Structure 1
Amino acid sequence: MLKSILSAALVALALVARAQSPSKPNIIFIYTDDQRFDALSVVQQEQGDKARFPWFSTPNLDRLAHEGVRFRNAFVINSLCSPSRSTLLNSRYNHLNGIANNHTGLSDTTVTYATELRKAGYNTAYFGKWHMGNETGKRPGFDYSASFVGQGKYFDCPIEVNGKARPSQGWVDDVSTTNAIDYIRENREKTFLVTLAFKSGHGPFQPPVRHQDTYAKVKLTEPGNEAALFPYKGQIETGRPGNNNANASQSKGGPWTANNEQRIRGYFGALKAVDENVGRILQTLDSLKLDQNTVIIFSSDNGFFFGEHGLGDKRAAYEESIRIPLLVRYPARFPKGKKIDKMVLNLDAAPSLLDLAGVAAPKSFQGKSWVPLIEDKAKDWRTSFLYEYFYERNNQTPTIKALRTERSKLILYPGEEGWSELYDLSSDPGESRNLFHTKEGEKLKTQLQGELSKQEKAVGYINPNYADPRPLDEHGKYVRPKRDLVP
């Protein structure tokens, strides 16, 4: 009798535990292209008088922040599309994973978050921008894909469905969202992973018709650090007329913002439509009653400059380029409205997705799951990380090694010590006062140089042989542009 009572009690406890512990969640991983960390209205509101884009409104993304977790210090380890997207997949630094530029396909596809979740029983699907060079075909690791080649185009973009090209009509991110929603509806009785990768807000900054004039009349504010120019400006021979990457820097006189206002307005118009498409996903989950046990992660592949340091691209190691948004909502498990200030990386995305599904991360992954941060269980979290960028042919951005800590930053350009930069971010968040060559910065410089060496060793840093060769002279410095002689 006692044995029967004990057995019944144990069964009851197991049932209660199962009810309290949700089953494996559905996972929806959404990321944009070139979206700055502050291109969210929740951040603009938080910045108050210092906000540069206070007119920008993202109610659906703000909903994710209010109903979930917002990481306020999320970064990329390489601010460039293909390298960052490959890191999102396989949690590897770009000096190891084969992708050091935008024109190389992803060969290392054997172990990604998608392959591991598929092994764990997930139905896996990929929608939108893949962009590993101009790779075609069904996206590796995913059971289903509806994706476009390379950069695609904003309107009527051909979509490869499981590798077979089909025409589409309309604005590309609307199309990708519709395809993702159809897949969610068809697989609502299964456990699924959906990755939805938007083209927005990459150039040429073409919003859908409904938002072409949404920000046509808003007042644009110039950045406070536009005059703090990058040290390699006009110092590298690119082989291009005018010696400039088309997006990289100011090429004519006058304020950067005034000369590029249409780009800014178009960028935010496109991201406004992204917010609406996130709203469509949320509505779908609500209507199917999938919202409670579905994790939504929203992020970007890198940030973007709008005149800061005189730049209009990414690549460089300044804050506007390397900081990204990161929002996570999981109603069945995570708290509402939580803000986390620890540093997390795009390197952490893949192990976090696996952690959410209860799957162990492969040994090849270099990132760390941020799930313990959300649940206040993290120990010995990072306080610094290595940033890397490798020179690309016909481009004016040199190879970069940088260290970002919680309060400071060291930026090095191998072979060009005179360009080195050092910033105390606690007193100079705009990175306007370079301390590298000052007596004031000597102690901080020594500390960060030591920490950078530790980080290089920890991640196995090398300059990979698949990176584009740098245009160096016999002294190991970048070849300077030829100057026209004035007769």
Structure 2
Amino acid sequence: MKTFLTNLLLLTGSFAVAQQEKPVAGPRQARPNIILIYTDDQRFDALSVVQKEQGDKARFPWFTTPNLDRLASEGVRFRNAFVINSLCSPSRSTMLNGRYNHLNGIANNHTGLTDTTVTYATELHKAGYRTAFFGKWHMGKETGKRPGFEYSASFVGQGQYFDCPIEINGKPEPSTGWVDDVSTTNAIDYIRQHKGETFLVTLAFKSGHGPFQPPIRHKDTFADVKLTKPATENLDSPYKGQIETPRRQNGNGGQNAAQNTNTGKSWTENNEQKIRNYFGAIKGVDENVGRVLRTLDSLKLDENTVVIFSSDNGFFFGEHGLGDKRAAYEESIRIPLLVRYPARFPKGKKIDKIVLNLDNAPTLLDLAGIQAPASFQGKSWVPLIEEKAKDWRTSFLYEYFYETPFNTPTIKAIRTETGKLIQYPGEEGWSELYDLSKDPNETTNLYQSAGGEKLKKQLLGELSKQEKATGYVNPDYADARPVDEKGQYKRPVKEVIP
């Protein structure tokens, strides 16, 4: 009897320890599969659910995304999701390792991430997840198997839209067709092969990065839609034309729309076909998201699979006379964020609290019941969905570091729920201040006005607070500014016509 009781106690103790050590995702015992999908340069309003919500103010009411709308109706939509740096490689690195770019080593588009950085993928893999990456990695022109993932089918740098070579675990192989179709097929094949295991799949699309090339099936889908000019098209950014750069700026990827003054046309008129092609590409993305959802349905994996959809940054289509991204205006820094998890999350929920791409990594670990590393600076937004969050953020620091040879200066900004302060270090005269509660389109700069003094004081204090909280520095791996002997940005030489 003594031996029996001893064995029983040992077994009971072992079971208790096992129960304590076993990662549990909230109230569910089974850890979920996780599929993280993100696009390139997708504006927050490039979703038909947002266009419908905007009503008469919608700029692209003809655009439809039924599969992304399905995610929104069957899950949660974050209506105030932002990036902390609106540039591809910096944003993608932040999504991976949950750190600000002034600390994580990636401050531009030409630096690789080949080290042993702790990411959501490394931590999920250690916890027993199968981890795979498909599509656009874009840490400079980094090649090889993607760090942190046990399997990858990815392309180098920007790749190409059609017949793009794909590196399978670092070994180049040819592909045929539109690249985002190919990446989706590869991801679906992987899901089918590992349907009996717990997996993390990251699917990163090339769309909608320029030069915009939609799949052939959508080449003319938006050929006849009416394009609307943005309300701020004639409002210039304060630095426009003020920085010397060897790069010719244009409406596709450049910051200036200088050519508009030569043609006499507006930014929108000069770039109509590019806008149509962009939305054709995003339409292709929507269809591929639908393919993933149907695969989960057919395999009966939909209930216990988290599907997250987002973007690496926004994009300008003429707002403030700009193309590209980088600047701190809303169209550049706001992104879509949708999440569906039928086994745990409600349907059709909308959340207006501020969430960041910085939060992706800790959220993925939280979903798997894994403690986030101390290096992660973001916060899991799972408690927001479950209405358990306490002291959630009401502001965040935005940063951008000058990148050769573009003409967007280094930016340091604070964005709260109702206001925004934008600073350009070394250029006090360019500072901007907006009361977003009254001026959501950022049309009236209050920085030098008496009416803006109270808001300016408040946001300057908040900016200082966030700089300290995030350990802000101008990193030595950022590109050098093109400055003159006074420490100011070099100005272009103006031709004087007698």
TM range (shorter): over 0.9
Preserved CA contact (<8 Å) 1:97 1:108 = no
| Matching of residue 460 in structure 1 with residue 471 in structure 2 | yes
Q: For the residues of structure 1 that align with 2:165 and 2:436, how far apart are their CA atoms? A: 44
Q: For the residues of structure 1 that align with 2:275 and 2:476, how far apart are their CA atoms? A: 37
State how 1:128-207 maps to structure 2 within 5 Å. Answer: 128-207=135-214
- Look up the match of 1:383: 394
Offset of 1:109 from its aligned partner?
3.7
Q: For the residues of structure 2 that align with 1:243 and 1:70, how far apart are their CA atoms? A: 34
1:441 match: secondary structure = helix
Q: For the residues of structure 2 that align with 1:240 and 1:129, how far apart are their CA atoms? A: 25
State how 1:34-433 maps to structure 2 within 5 Å. Answer: 34-241=41-248, 246-253=253-260, 254-433=265-444
Q: 1:476 to 1:372 in 2, by over 3 A?
A: same
1:137-156: CA deviation from partner (whole Å, max 9, x where unpaired): 00000010000000000000
Preserved CA contact (<8 Å) 2:249 2:257 = no
Q: For the residues of structure 1 that align with 2:231 and 2:206, how far apart are their CA atoms? A: 29
1:265 match: secondary structure = helix
Preserved CA contact (<8 Å) 2:251 2:323 = no
Preserved CA contact (<8 Å) 1:71 1:341 = yes
2:161 match: secondary structure = coil
Matched letter for residue 252 of structure 1: Q
- Look up the match of 1:3: none
Q: For the residues of structure 2 that align with 1:148 and 1:98, how far apart are their CA atoms? A: 22
Offset of 1:240 from its aligned partner?
3.2
2:451 match: secondary structure = coil
1:410 match: secondary structure = strand
Preserved CA contact (<8 Å) 1:237 1:243 = no
Matched letter for residue 200 of structure 1: S
1:56 match: secondary structure = coil
TM-score by length of 1: 0.95
Q: For the residues of structure 1 that align with 2:84 and 2:27, how far apart are their CA atoms? A: 37
Q: For the residues of structure 2 that align with 1:418 and 1:169, how far apart are their CA atoms? A: 51
1:379 match: secondary structure = coil
Preserved CA contact (<8 Å) 1:84 1:346 = yes
Offset of 1:262 from its aligned partner?
0.6
2:84 match: secondary structure = coil
Q: For the residues of structure 2 that align with 1:19 and 1:369, how far apart are their CA atoms? A: 13
Structure 1 consecutive aligned stretches of length 4 or more whose deviation exceeds 6 Å:
17-20, 242-245
Q: 1:461 to 1:108 in 2, by over 3 A?
A: farther
Q: For the residues of structure 2 that align with 1:52 and 1:158, how far apart are their CA atoms? A: 36
Offset of 1:406 from its aligned partner?
0.1
Preserved CA contact (<8 Å) 1:27 1:193 = yes
Preserved CA contact (<8 Å) 1:28 1:296 = yes
1:215-264: CA deviation from partner (whole Å, max 9, x where unpaired): 00000000011122100010000123579995212122321111100110
Q: For the residues of structure 2 that align with 1:340 and 1:107, how far apart are their CA atoms? A: 36
Preserved CA contact (<8 Å) 2:25 2:31 = no
Preserved CA contact (<8 Å) 1:22 1:293 = no
Preserved CA contact (<8 Å) 1:34 1:202 = yes
Q: For the residues of structure 2 that align with 1:147 and 1:43, how far apart are their CA atoms? A: 31
Q: For the residues of structure 2 that align with 1:92 and 1:72, how far apart are their CA atoms? A: 22
1:142 match: secondary structure = coil
Q: For the residues of structure 1 that align with 2:157 and 2:55, how far apart are their CA atoms? A: 38
Offset of 1:180 from its aligned partner?
0.1
Offset of 1:421 from its aligned partner?
0.1
Matched letter for residue 438 of structure 1: S
Matched letter for residue 302 of structure 2: D
Q: For the residues of structure 2 that align with 1:214 and 1:430, how far apart are their CA atoms? A: 29
Preserved CA contact (<8 Å) 1:223 1:307 = yes
Matched letter for residue 421 of structure 1: E
1:45-73: CA deviation from partner (whole Å, max 9, x where unpaired): 00000000000000000000000000000
Q: Which runs of 5+ in 2 are unaligned?
A: 1-11
Offset of 1:107 from its aligned partner?
4.3
| Matching of residue 486 in structure 1 with residue 493 in structure 2 | no
Q: Which runs of 5+ in 1 are unaligned?
A: 1-6
Q: For the residues of structure 1 that align with 2:443 and 2:40, how far apart are their CA atoms? A: 26
Q: 1:214 to 1:120 in 2, by over 3 A?
A: same
Matched letter for residue 399 of structure 1: T
Preserved CA contact (<8 Å) 1:77 1:387 = yes
Matched letter for residue 181 of structure 2: D
Identity between Structure 1 and Structure 2 (%):
78
Preserved CA contact (<8 Å) 2:229 2:268 = yes
102-111 or 319-328, which deviates more? 102-111
Q: For the residues of structure 1 that align with 2:472 and 2:378, how far apart are their CA atoms? A: 15
Q: For the residues of structure 2 that align with 1:63 and 1:392, how far apart are their CA atoms? A: 38
Q: For the residues of structure 2 that align with 1:480 and 1:399, how far apart are their CA atoms? A: 15
Q: For the residues of structure 2 that align with 1:440 and 1:58, how far apart are their CA atoms? A: 42
Q: For the residues of structure 2 that align with 1:387 and 1:482, how far apart are their CA atoms? A: 31
Q: For the residues of structure 2 that align with 1:100 and 1:334, how far apart are their CA atoms? A: 35
Offset of 1:394 from its aligned partner?
1.2
Q: For the residues of structure 1 that align with 2:473 and 2:26, how far apart are their CA atoms? A: 49
TM-score by length of 2: 0.93
1:296 match: secondary structure = strand
Q: 1:185 to 1:244 in 2, by over 3 A?
A: closer
Offset of 1:484 from its aligned partner?
2.3
Aligned residues: 477
- The partner residue of 1:26 within 22, 33, 46 is 33
Q: For the residues of structure 1 that align with 2:94 and 2:27, how far apart are their CA atoms? A: 34
